């Protein structure tokens, strides 16, 4: 429909400015795209941050909850471990799997290694370990050990100390070792924990948590925390002295 003005001539009604139309359409589209891009960047960063679990989970002093969880799984969930029965040996296998899974790249961020197994009842029983590689003298090695056929509390403490120290730097290497102590004793002089040393490596010291042997004591996270913290400090001092 045309509109007549004072001069009597019909005129076309005013049309919207094309520039304003572009702005009205473009601004919401820009906001939508920029928001989507920001969300993608956030998601990508979160994925990248999770690549290295050692960076994703900061190293802190041994936590009560962590110690409680480890000792509870070893003593209650997995069941009694022992070499005399099939059930005891099955539970031992589960304990080894628990140790390896706890230390793994998906959890504490370590690369888990296994040594040659020791024979018992037709099966091979490995020694497993993880390394904090030394910076100035990596071939010099401190062994930090717990027997997986021994005290639940000792295993829980060494696991906690490995987590506590994993992002710290030392001159020598620190190797956290979990082994079948009874089988080593049966091997006489043919096998020892020093077998975990590689070619060109030298042994500096062997450290084990004190006072955590098998006993009637019911260990929990609260009782183990000061012992784990003290043991971590002992490892730091020993590695720092070398």
Based on the fold, state whether residues 42 and 96 are members of the same structural domain: no
Q: Is position 162 within any domain?
A: yes
Q: Is 143 helix (H, G, I), strand (E, B) or coil?
A: strand
Q: Residues 62, 63, 69, 75: what is their CA dihedral angle, to the nearest 10 degrees?
A: 50
What's residue 10's pLDDT? 52
Q: Is position 54 within any domain?
A: no
What's residue 52's pLDDT? 39
Based on the fold, state whether residues 174 and 201 are members of the same structural domain: yes
What's residue 11's pLDDT? 53
Based on the fold, state whether residues 106 and 222 are members of the same structural domain: yes
Q: Is position 43 within any domain?
A: yes
Based on the fold, state whether residues 161 and 236 are members of the same structural domain: yes
Based on the fold, state whether residues 231 and 196 are members of the same structural domain: yes
Q: Which domain holds residue 41?
A: 1-49
Which residues, listed in sequence order, are joined to residue 146 by a DSSP beta bridge? Answer: 178
Based on the fold, state whether residues 36 and 122 are members of the same structural domain: no
Based on the fold, state whether residues 156 and 212 are members of the same structural domain: yes
Question: 154: which residues sit within 8 A by CB, 6+ positions away?
Answer: 146, 147, 208, 209, 212, 213
Q: What is the number of structural domains in the chain?
A: 2
pLDDT tens, residue by residue, 194-218: 999 999 999 999 999 988 865 556 8
Based on the fold, state whether residues 19 and 76 are members of the same structural domain: no
Q: Is position 234 within any domain?
A: yes
Are 114 and 179 in contact by the 8 Å Cβ rule? The answer is no
What's residue 49's pLDDT? 37
Tokens standing for residue 116: 């040659």
Which residues, listed in sequence order, are joined to residue 162 by a DSSP beta bridge? Answer: none
Start-to-end C-alpha separation, the chain: 96
Based on the fold, state whether residues 28 and 73 are members of the same structural domain: no
Q: Is position 199 within any domain?
A: yes
Helix (H) or strand (E) run with residue 240 in it: helix 221-241
CATH number of the domain that residue 200 is part of: 3.40.630
What's residue 62's pLDDT? 64
Based on the fold, state whether residues 23 and 94 are members of the same structural domain: no
Based on the fold, state whether residues 65 and 2 are members of the same structural domain: no
What's residue 233's pLDDT? 96
What's the average pLDDT block by block, 10 residues per block, for the chain (242 residues)? 50 53 49 45 41 39 86 91 94 96 95 93 95 96 96 95 95 97 85 93 95 72 93 95 72
Q: Is position 150 within any domain?
A: yes
What's residue 42's pLDDT? 43
What's residue 23's pLDDT? 44
pLDDT tens, residue by residue, 147-173: 999 999 999 999 999 999 999 999 999
Based on the fold, state whether residues 24 and 72 are members of the same structural domain: no
């Amino acid at each position: 429909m045309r509109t007549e003005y004072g001069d009597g001539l019909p005129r076309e009604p005013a049309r919207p400015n094309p520039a304003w139309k572009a702005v009205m359409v473009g601004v919401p589209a820009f906001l939508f795209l920029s928001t989507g891009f920001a969300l993608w960047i956030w998601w990508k960063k979160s994925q990248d941050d999770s690549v290295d679990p050692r960076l994703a989970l900061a190293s802190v002093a041994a936590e009560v909850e962590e110690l409680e969880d480890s000792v509870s799984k070893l003593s209650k969930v997995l069941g009694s471990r022992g070499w005399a029965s099939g059930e005891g040996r099955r539970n031992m296998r589960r304990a080894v799997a628990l140790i390896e899974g706890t230390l793994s790249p998906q959890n504490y961020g370590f690369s888990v290694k296994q040594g040659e197994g020791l024979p018992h009842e037709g099966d091979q029983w490995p020694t497993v370990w993880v390394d904090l590689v030394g910076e100035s003298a990596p071939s010099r090695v401190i062994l930090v050990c717990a027997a997986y056929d021994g005290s639940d509390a000792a295993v829980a403490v060494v696991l906690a100390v490995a987590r506590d120290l994993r992002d710290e730097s030392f001159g020598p290497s620190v190797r956290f070792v979990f082994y079948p102590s009874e089988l080593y004793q049966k091997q006489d002089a043919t096998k020892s924990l020093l077998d975990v040393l590689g070619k060109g490596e030298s042994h500096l010291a062997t450290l084990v948590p004190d006072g955590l042997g098998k006993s009637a004591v019911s260990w929990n996270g609260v009782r183990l925390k000061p012992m784990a913290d003290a043991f971590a400090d002992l490892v730091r001092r020993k590695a720092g002295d070398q």
